[in-house]
């Protein structure tokens, strides 16, 4: 397993989101996510949504709803 090198031409999976969405997701995680499992569920939802490109505030409710609470 090699270390990540940003100077390579390898395509790595990425998540792109607007800054307002990023801030809201951080707030969600800080305030409402109670377990590591819940965090992973939210992350899986974000990864699934990111296949459509840049994420914006239009998907926040979908992300928040994936939190089992």
Is residue 5 situated within a structural domain?
no
Is residue 7 situated within a structural domain?
no
Higher pLDDT, 48 or 8: 48
The per-residue pLDDT for range 21-49, each reduced to its tens digit, is: 999 999 999 999 999 999 999 999 999 99
Is residue 4 situated within a structural domain?
no
Is residue 25 situated within a structural domain?
yes
Distances in Å between the Cα of 10 and the Cα atoms of 4, 47, 52 are 10, 19, 20
Contact 33, 39 (CB under 8 A): yes
The pTM for the full model equals 0.80
Is residue 2 situated within a structural domain?
no
User: Which domain, by its residues, includes 29?
Assistant: 19-65
Is residue 39 situated within a structural domain?
yes
The closest of 18, 24, 15, 19 to 63, measured between CA atoms, is: 24
Once rounded to an integer, what is the mean pLDDT over residues 49-64?
95
Say how far apart CA 24 and CA 10 lie, in whole Å: 30
Is residue 40 situated within a structural domain?
yes
Please work out, in degrees rounded to the nearest 5, the angle formed at the alpha carbon of residue 50 by the alpha carbons of 55 and 37. Answer: 105
* Number of domains within the chain: 1
């Amino acid at each position: 397993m090699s270390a990540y090198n940003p100077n390579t031409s390898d395509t790595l999976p990425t998540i792109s989101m607007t800054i307002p969405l990023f801030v809201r997701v951080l707030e969600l995680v800080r305030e409402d996510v109670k377990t590591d499992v819940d965090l992973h569920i939210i992350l899986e939802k974000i990864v699934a949504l990111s296949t459509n490109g840049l994420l914006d505030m239009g998907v926040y409710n979908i992300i928040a709803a994936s939190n089992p609470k």
